[in-house]
């Protein structure tokens, strides 16, 4: 299987492209969806379900004792999927860089990553291409798509985006001086994180460094505010009404959106990313999202009641608009569930990393790092 | 002859012109100052950053993720401590992502005492640095070694920490850097910024040449048969002076690379002399030299040496006091090194 094959190769029984034959266009009122066409709407819906089904499989893998730990992003689909779909995908400074946090499965799938890598990652298999069995679930790394390593410290990615954005701005400036149509034009760095992590200094560093006068950086700085840091609520720790307001002091474009609405997310993300690409300046975007399965397996990984579910809400809108039926939605979900169960059974048979591999990649090309062998 | 600050400056210039160094940055690294020790004066790719060590290290890592080669500076190692988790991240990055990304970055910072720097301009960092796996750690003690190690650090695909012994930054070398002007006056005229207004000044770089010191290779400064002294940084010239003047035959090794380190050279020397003294100015508890000493007694050298390996290091106190009495009581100076040398030589097996 291709390491980074597109998710479209795993087409469920009811795909976005197949939906058009089953709906009546006259029921689709574009104004309900801010002008987004039905193909895009159904594609987003499809990947949102794919992401949820994958996360739920990962949780089952943990709960059946096949993994040590789960942490992930159920509830962030409405924000994460549009983010991935709007990005320039590829490797190197001419494409968008991703500095994601560990709730980024929706974005990663929207970028076309094969879901089997998430299963190998949580099960610590040797064939786990992200970490080689070394790190937690959802700690993705796919250099072919500029998805830089996701780390457990939940703030440092804000600082790292400063470096990739600087490299991009240099490449963008150089390219725009030579060829207006160059592929090197207008790439950006994208950083995601949670509300709790914004208390760390790295978030402030990102705001300061991204807005140095005359040397602004093309970064989409996002905060997915689920109002929790493990068990500590946002309201207990933060006096600011909106995290996005912190950007106002730096004269940067700031906005606060409903991250549970994929339509609003898509439209506002597109506006923001278009602005960053054109102006080569940062945007701070805060998205309200739901944390549907708690912090991680450390807090049980159980579904939380009373929270807005972006998939449930979006499905209701799509059904109301005649773009999909309940049974078709169920069919999509079941198709993904079956697919991920099969992947799990496949990965279950795979071997783990060998004990003697601990020295590998301490230095590049596994140069000797064991002092006993100097 | 160039001093170490000038040597580093010329190495960075060579790096800009020949090794694709895109960014040289840190607090006061760019114009007009060019670094508090002038090691980055006149370079074309320098820039000043906010007073934010975490931002400096983060940006270096980000540039490395984008495949660019940079040299970042923390103005004094005393201020590097709030970046420890970022240094840890940089060190484990290639390992934790199973080789998907590497960081070809160099981080330099002045270390050690010797300039009456008091509590927050006198720290050492070598023991801390060697506790962060995934980094290569180098520390030159001469201008030529600084030049050669900097070029090797820049080209290395791994993160390299380049520790600058601040007390030696103004010390002139005894060997010419390849391509360096023959006279100190000519060099100064070419690359040192004038005092006062520098807005119209630009350096006239000499045609310096490629010259590498391999990371992981020590250098024997003095050959001897009775005792091996292993040192680096500020205390090293003091050790060398003692070796030259002492009636005993003392071998002095400049470690130069702390990780990876040159065990082969150390082993051969200690095998020959049967006695070893490690000298550095980092605090003495969990000092890097303790690891080297451990390795001596856990190898077959244990059955050959005539004296227990000795470590002379900084006292385990929270800081270096400003008054000379305090500084000289806190880190090794000549008298204390000489006393230790004599003690080790007098041990009867």
* pLDDT at res. B223: 98
The answer to whether residue A19 scores a pLDDT higher than 50 is no
Tell me whether residues A135 and B262 touch, CB distance under 8 A. no
The answer to whether residue A194 scores a pLDDT higher than 60 is yes
Confidence of residue A22 (pLDDT cuts 50, 70, 90): very low
Find out whether A56 and A311 touch, Cβ atoms under 8 Å. no
Per annotation, catalytic residue among B16, B53, B222, B340: B53
Find out whether B291 and B255 touch, Cβ atoms under 8 Å. no
* pLDDT at res. A10: 40
Find out whether B126 and B282 touch, Cβ atoms under 8 Å. yes
Instruction: Give phi and psi for A342, each to the nearest 5.
Output: -65, -40
Q: Which one is predicted more confidently, A42 or A374? A: A42
Tell me whether residues B52 and A208 touch, CB distance under 8 A. yes
Find out whether A88 and A95 touch, Cβ atoms under 8 Å. yes
For A199-252, how does the pLDDT look when each residue is reduced to its tens digit (9 = 90+)?
999 999 999 999 999 999 999 999 999 999 989 999 999 999 999 999 999 999
Measured between beta carbons, which residues in chain B are less than 8 angstroms from residue A93?
66-67
* pLDDT at res. A175: 77
A163 → closest Cβ in B58, B96, B157: B58
Q: How far is A150 from chain B (nearest CA, A)?
A: 9
Q: How far apart are CA B270 and CA B259, in angstroms?
A: 19
Measured between beta carbons, which residues in chain B are less than 8 angstroms from residue A202?
54, 58
* pLDDT at res. A102: 94
Confidence of residue A67 (pLDDT cuts 50, 70, 90): very high
Confidence of residue A181 (pLDDT cuts 50, 70, 90): low
Confidence of residue A174 (pLDDT cuts 50, 70, 90): confident
Which of A160, A212, A216, A370 to mutate to test binding with chain B, by most B CBs within 10 Å of its CB?
A160
Q: Which one is predicted more confidently, A267 or A29? A: A267
Per the annotation, the verdict on B291 as an active-site residue is no
Q: How far apart are CA B94 and CA A369, in angstroms?
A: 13
For B276-322, how does the pLDDT look when each residue is reduced to its tens digit (9 = 90+)?
999 999 999 999 999 999 999 999 999 999 999 999 999 999 999 99
Task: Categorise residue B172: left if φ over 0, alpha if ψ from -120 to 50, beta otherwise.
Answer: beta
Cα of first residue to Cα of last residue in chain A, in angstroms, is: 39
Which of B20, B24, B52, B59 to mutate to test binding with chain A, by most A CBs within 10 Å of its CB?
B59
- Look over chain A and give the mean of its residue pLDDT values, rounded to a whole number: 90
Q: How far is B102 from chain A (nearest CA, A)?
A: 7
* pLDDT at res. B136: 98
| Of A115, A125, A3, A135, the residue nearest A57 (C-alpha) | A115
Confidence of residue A11 (pLDDT cuts 50, 70, 90): very low
The answer to whether residue A309 scores a pLDDT higher than 70 is yes
Centre a 10 Å sphere on the Cβ of residue B120 and count the other Cβ atoms it contains: 11
Confidence of residue B189 (pLDDT cuts 50, 70, 90): very high
* pLDDT at res. A2: 35
Q: How far apart are CA B141 and CA A124, in angstroms?
A: 45
For B196-214, how does the pLDDT look when each residue is reduced to its tens digit (9 = 90+)?
898 899 999 999 999 999 9
For A129-155, how does the pLDDT look when each residue is reduced to its tens digit (9 = 90+)?
999 999 999 999 999 999 999 999 989
Q: How far apart are CA A296 and CA A292, in angstroms?
A: 10
| Of B64, B123, B52, the residue nearest B89 (C-alpha) | B64
As a whole-number percent, the residues of chain A with pLDDT over 70 amount to 89
Which residues are CB-neighbours of A187 under 8 A, at least 6 positions away? Answer: A88, A93, A94, A95, A96, A97, A168, A171, A172, A218, A277
* pLDDT at res. A185: 67
Find out whether B320 and B331 touch, Cβ atoms under 8 Å. yes
Tell me whether residues A130 and B60 touch, CB distance under 8 A. no
Q: Which one is predicted more confidently, A17 or B262? A: B262
Centre a 10 Å sphere on the Cβ of residue A40 and count the other Cβ atoms it contains: 17
Mean pLDDT of B151-175: 97
Residue B260's alpha-carbon distances to B174, B214, B218, B247, B264, in angstroms, are 26, 11, 10, 33, 11
Tell me whether residues A159 and B22 touch, CB distance under 8 A. no
Q: How far apart are CA B66 and CA A3, in angstroms?
A: 21
| Of A222, A204, A208, the residue nearest A283 (C-alpha) | A222
A132 → closest Cβ in B98, B157, B216: B98
Q: How far is A46 from chain B (nearest CA, A)?
A: 29
DSSP code string of B217-265: --EEEE--SSEEEEE-STHHHHHHHHHHH-SS-EEEEE--EEES--HHH
Task: Categorise residue A227: left if φ over 0, alpha if ψ from -120 to 50, beta otherwise.
Answer: left
Give the chain B residue nearest A164 (alpha carbons). Answer: B62
Cis peptide before B32 (omega within 30 of 0): yes
Mean pLDDT of A76-87: 98
Mean pLDDT of B135-155: 98
Measured between beta carbons, which residues in chain A are less than 8 angstroms from residue B93?
149
Q: How far apart are CA B318 and CA B122, in angstroms?
A: 11
For B17-66, how does the pLDDT look when each residue is reduced to its tens digit (9 = 90+)?
999 999 999 999 999 999 999 999 999 999 999 999 999 999 999 999 99
Per annotation, catalytic residue among B121, B251, B281, B340: B121
Task: Categorise residue B5: left if φ over 0, alpha if ψ from -120 to 50, beta otherwise.
Answer: alpha
* pLDDT at res. A14: 35
Give the chain B residue nearest A353 (alpha carbons). Answer: B98
* pLDDT at res. A12: 39
Centre a 10 Å sphere on the Cβ of residue A41 and count the other Cβ atoms it contains: 25
* pLDDT at res. A182: 56
Give the chain B residue nearest A361 (alpha carbons). Answer: B95
| Of A247, A137, A353, the residue nearest B95 (C-alpha) | A353
Q: In what order do the strands lie in the sheet with B276-283?
A: B219-222, B250-254, B227-231, B276-283, B310-314
Per the annotation, the verdict on B323 as an active-site residue is no
Tell me whether residues A162 and B134 touch, CB distance under 8 A. no
CB-based burial, A127-148: b 16+ in 10 Å, e otherwise = bbbbbbbbbbbbbbbbbbbbbb
As a whole-number percent, the residues of chain B with pLDDT over 90 amount to 98
Which of B30, B49, B62 to mutate to test binding with chain A, by most A CBs within 10 Å of its CB?
B62
Find out whether A91 and B67 touch, Cβ atoms under 8 Å. no
Q: How far apart are CA A61 and CA A52, in angstroms?
A: 14
Degrees, nearest 5: CA angle B341-B345-B349? 145
User: Would you state the structure tokens that stand for residue B77, as one six-digit string?
Assistant: 């190692």
- Look over chain B and give the mean of its residue pLDDT values, rounded to a whole number: 97
The answer to whether residue A349 scores a pLDDT higher than 90 is yes
DSSP code string of A309-355: -HHHHHHHHHHHTTS--HHHHHHHHHHHHHHHHHHHHHHHTSPPPPG
Q: How far is A45 from chain B (nearest CA, A)?
A: 31
DSSP code string of B93-107: HHHHTTTS----EEE
């Amino acid at each position: 299987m291709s390491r980074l094959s597109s998710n479209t190769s795993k087409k469920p029984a009811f795909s976005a492209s197949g939906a058009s034959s089953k709906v009546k266009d006259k029921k689709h009122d574009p104004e309900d969806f801010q002008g987004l066409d039905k193909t895009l709407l159904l594609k987003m819906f499809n990947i949102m379900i794919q992401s949820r089904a994958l996360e739920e499989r990962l949780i089952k893998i943990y709960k059946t004792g096949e993994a040590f730990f789960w942490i992930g992003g159920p509830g962030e689909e409405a924000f994460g999927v549009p983010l991935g779909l709007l990005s320039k995908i590829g490797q190197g400074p001419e494409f968008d860089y991703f500095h994601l946090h560990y709730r980024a499965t929706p974005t990663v799938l929207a970028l076309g990553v094969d879901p089997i890598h998430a299963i190998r990652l949580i099960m610590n298999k040797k064939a786990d291409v992200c970490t080689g069995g070394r790190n937690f679930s959802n700690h993705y790394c796919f250099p072919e798509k500029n998805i830089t390593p996701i780390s457990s410290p939940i703030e440092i990615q804000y600082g790292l985006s400063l470096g990739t954005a600087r490299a991009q701005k240099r490449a963008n400036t150089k390219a725009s001086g030579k060829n207006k149509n160059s592929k090197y034009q207008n790439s950006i760095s994208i950083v995601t994180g949670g509300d709790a992590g914004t208390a760390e200094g790295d978030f402030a560093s990102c705001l300061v460094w991204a807005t140095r006068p005359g040397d602004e950086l093309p970064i989409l700085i996002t905060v997915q505010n689920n109002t929790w840091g493990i068990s500590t609520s946002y309201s207990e720790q933060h006096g600011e009404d909106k995290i996005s307001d912190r950007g106002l002091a730096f004269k940067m474009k700031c906005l606060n959106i409903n991250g549970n609405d994929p339509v609003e997310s898509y439209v506002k993300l597109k506006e923001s990313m278009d602005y960053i690409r054109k102006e080569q300046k940062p945007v701070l975007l805060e998205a309200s999202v739901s944390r549907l399965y708690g912090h991680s397996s450390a807090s049980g990984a159980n579904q939380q009641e009373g929270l807005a579910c972006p998939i449930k809400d979006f499905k209701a809108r799509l059904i109301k608009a005649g773009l999909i039926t309940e049974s078709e939605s169920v069919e999509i979900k079941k198709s993904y569930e079956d697919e991920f169960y099969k992947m799990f059974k496949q990965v279950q048979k795979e071997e783990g990393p060998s004990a003697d591999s601990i020295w590998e990649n301490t230095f590049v090309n596994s140069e000797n790092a064991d002092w006993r062998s100097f | 002859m160039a001093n170490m600050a000038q040597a580093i400056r010329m190495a960075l210039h060579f790096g800009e012109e020949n090794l694709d160094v895109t960014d040289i940055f840190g607090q006061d690294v760019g114009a007009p100052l060019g670094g508090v020790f002038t090691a980055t004066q006149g370079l074309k790719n320098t820039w000043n950053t906010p007073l934010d060590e975490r931002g400096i290290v983060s940006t270096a890592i980000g540039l490395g993720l984008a495949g660019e080669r940079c040299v970042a500076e923390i103005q004094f190692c005393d201020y590097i401590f709030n970046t420890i988790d970022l240094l840890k991240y940089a060190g484990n990055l290639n390992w934790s992502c199973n080789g998907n990304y590497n960081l070809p970055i160099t981080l330099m910072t002045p270390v050690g005492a010797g300039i009456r720097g008091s509590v927050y301009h006198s720290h050492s960092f070598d023991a801390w640095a060697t506790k962060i796996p995934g980094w290569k750690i180098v520390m030159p003690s001469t201008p030529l070694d600084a030049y050669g190690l900097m070029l090797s650090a820049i080209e290395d695909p791994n993160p390299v920490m380049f520790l600058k012994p601040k007390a030696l930054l103004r010390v002139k070398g005894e060997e010419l850097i390849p391509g360096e002007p023959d006279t100190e006056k000519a060099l100064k005229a070419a690359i040192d910024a004038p005092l006062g207004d520098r807005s119209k000044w630009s350096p006239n770089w000499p045609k310096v040449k490629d010259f590498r010191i391999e990371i992981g290779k020590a250098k024997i400064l003095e050959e001897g048969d009775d005792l091996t002294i292993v040192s680096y940084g500020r205390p090293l010239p003091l050790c060398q002076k003692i070796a030259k003047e002492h009636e005993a035959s003392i071998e002095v090794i400049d470690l130069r690379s702390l990780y990876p380190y040159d065990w082969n050279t150390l082993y051969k020397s200690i095998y020959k002399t049967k006695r070893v003294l490690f000298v550095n100015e980092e605090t003495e508890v969990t000092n890097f030299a303790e690891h080297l000493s451990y390795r001596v007694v856990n190898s077959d050298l244990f059955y050959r040496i005539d004296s227990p390996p000795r470590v002379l290091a900084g006292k385990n106190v929270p800081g270096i006091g400003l008054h000379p009495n305090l500084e000289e009581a806190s880190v090794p100076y000549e008298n204390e090194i000489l006393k230790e040398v004599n003690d080790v030589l007098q041990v009867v097996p």
